[in-house]
């Protein structure tokens, strides 16, 4: 299974038509629709789907990731540039984005991470490490070589800055917004307006909120299992990792089916059917993060066995970040204490990758399989 690095965001955003009609469904208010093949919904002949804010934030993270990658090449990183991109200063990331937007990542970040300045601290540490130009060692941030001759920039514990920032924001912004904002009763519950169109738009508030959750998933509207290799780059961030484990667990069809049926239920004003699909999304998106964590634990075990320390730190950084994403679900099966043990003990005593060994990695893997038994039969294939 290949987990392709996310590059060149190009999500197609369906623009909403400006209309002042008030009927929720095509045709009569009492008419119901069947789930369409793709995530495409319309009213009066025009699309009723829009999530431009989500598309902008996916593009922002892609460009932040590209910038942080310069540190792996030995270039100095600017702490201020990273802060400007995170806050989207002046609408173009302080001149670092190749597009303009009035959105940002910072104000959508999980509150605890925001209060703890988690990303600001990472930016400062990454910048300082890049300016030293030193080789990493236990307790010393710097560069460490990978098997292919490239380097990664790591902190004093061997954690790769690029992975902590990119995969971290996938969790604390994208996952958090799906789980704790857009799939909640405050946004799609029975009391949310689903009768009147928002002013100047072709969607109700409830429709739009659900579309925004879908936007953070990062999938093309026709995403499905057996996704063609020629279109792999169209699946972004979480959708990309869904595709990575689709052969073993069928995530693409499962998640798209739930998104499409959930949006259909909103059109049909069927709260019971909507709740059923939301339950599936909470469960399967959490399972996706757990499966991806195991995938990277497996990769780390292979690299440690081959004596490839730089590669091991690279994949272990991804495992750490995907395990960390599990904490953002309010319905998570895994406890915070279990996650802390995985991150701070199993992945190396005191969270130090320089101390990691196969025993700890296998223990973390066993913990995840026990909590998520659906992964038992495929744990070694992920």
- Tokens read off for 101: 């937007």
**pLDDT of res. 19:** 33
pLDDT along the chain (382 residues), means of 10: 38 35 44 96 98 98 98 98 98 98 98 98 98 96 96 98 98 98 98 98 98 98 98 98 98 98 98 98 98 98 98 98 98 98 98 98 98 98 98
Residues in the chain: 382
Q: Buried b vs exposed e over 108-136: b needs ≥16 C-beta within 10 Å?
A: bbbeebeeeebbbebbebbbebbeeeeeb
Q: For residues 163 and 165, what is the distance between their CA atoms, to the nearest angstrom? A: 5
Task: Please state at what angle helix 79-87 crosses helix 118-132, rounded to 10 degrees.
Answer: 150
Pairwise CA distance, residues 53 & 57, whole Å: 6
Residue 214 · residue 263 · CB < 8 Å: yes
What are the sequence ranges of the domains in the chain?
A: 56-168
Q: How far is it, in rounded angstroms, from Cα 270 to Cα 289?
A: 29
* DSSP, residue by residue, 99-115: S--S--SGGGS-HHHHH
Give the C-alpha separation, 302 to 309, whole Å.
11
pTM here is 0.92
Q: What pLDDT is recorded for position 320?
A: 98
At residue 31, the pLDDT reads 82
DSSP state of 81: H
Question: Whole-angstrom Cα distance, residue 39 to residue 111?
Answer: 30
Residue 216 confidence (pLDDT): 98
**H helical segments located in the chain:** 52-72, 79-87, 111-115, 118-132, 161-169, 176, 185-188, 205-217, 238-244, 246-249, 251-267, 271-305, 309-325, 336-341, 358-371
Nearest Cα residue to 321 out of 178, 180, 213, 159: 159
- Which of 174, 150, 153, 151 has the alpha carbon at shortest distance from 162? 153
What local confidence, expressed as pLDDT, does residue 26 receive? Answer: 45
Other Cβ atoms closer than 10 A to 24: 21
In whole angstroms, give the CA distance from residue 352 to residue 343.
Answer: 9
- Taking the C-alpha atoms of residue 328 and residue 330, their distance in angstroms, rounded to an integer, is 6
CA distance 129 to 21: 56
Taking phi over 0 as left and psi of -120 to 50 as alpha, with beta for the rest, 239 belongs to alpha
Report the candidate in 245, 242, 98, 113 with the shortest Cα–Cα distance to residue 168: 113
């Amino acid at each position: 299974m290949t987990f392709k690095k996310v590059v060149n965001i190009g999500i197609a955003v369906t623009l909403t038509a400006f209309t002042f009609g008030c009927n929720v469904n095509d045709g009569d208010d009492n008419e119901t629709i069947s789930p369409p093949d793709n995530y495409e919904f319309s009213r009066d002949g025009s699309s009723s789907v829009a999530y431009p804010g989500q598309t902008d934030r996916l593009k922002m993270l892609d460009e932040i990731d590209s910038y942080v990658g310069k540190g792996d090449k030995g270039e100095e990183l600017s702490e201020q540039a990273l802060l400007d991109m995170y806050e989207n200063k002046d609408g173009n990331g302080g001149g670092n984005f190749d597009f303009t937007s009035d959105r940002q990542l910072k104000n959508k970040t999980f509150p605890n991470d925001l209060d703890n300045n988690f990303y600001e601290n990472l930016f400062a540490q990454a910048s300082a490490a890049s300016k030293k130009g030193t080789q990493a060692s236990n307790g010393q941030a710097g560069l460490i070589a990978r098997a292919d001759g490239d380097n990664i920039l790591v902190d004093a514990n061997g954690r790769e800055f690029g992975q902590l920032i990119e995969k971290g924001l996938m969790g604390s912004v994208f996952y958090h917004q799906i789980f704790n904002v857009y799939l909640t009763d405050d946004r799609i519950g029975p009391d949310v307006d689903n009768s009147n169109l928002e002013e100047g738009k072709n969607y109700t508030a409830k429709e739009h909120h659900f579309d925004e959750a879908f936007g953070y998933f990062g999938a093309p509207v026709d995403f499905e299992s057996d996704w063609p290799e020629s279109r792999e780059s169209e699946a972004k961030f979480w959708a990309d990792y869904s595709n990575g484990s689709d052969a073993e667990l069928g995530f693409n069809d499962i998640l798209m089916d739930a998104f499409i049926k959930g949006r259909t239920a909103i059109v049909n004003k069927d709260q019971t059917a909507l709740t059923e699909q939301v339950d599936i999304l909470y469960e399967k998106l959490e399972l996706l993060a757990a499966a991806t964590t195991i995938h990277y634990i497996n990769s780390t075990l292979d690299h440690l066995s081959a004596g490839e320390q730089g590669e091991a730190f690279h994949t272990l950084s991804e495992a750490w970040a995907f395990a960390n994403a599990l904490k953002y679900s309010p319905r998570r099966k895994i406890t915070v204490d279990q996650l802390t043990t995985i991150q701070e003990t199993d992945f190396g005593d005191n969270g130090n990758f320089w101390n990691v060994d196969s025993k700890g990695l296998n223990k973390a893997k066993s913990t995840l399989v026990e909590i998520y038994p659906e992964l038992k039969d495929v744990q070694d294939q992920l």
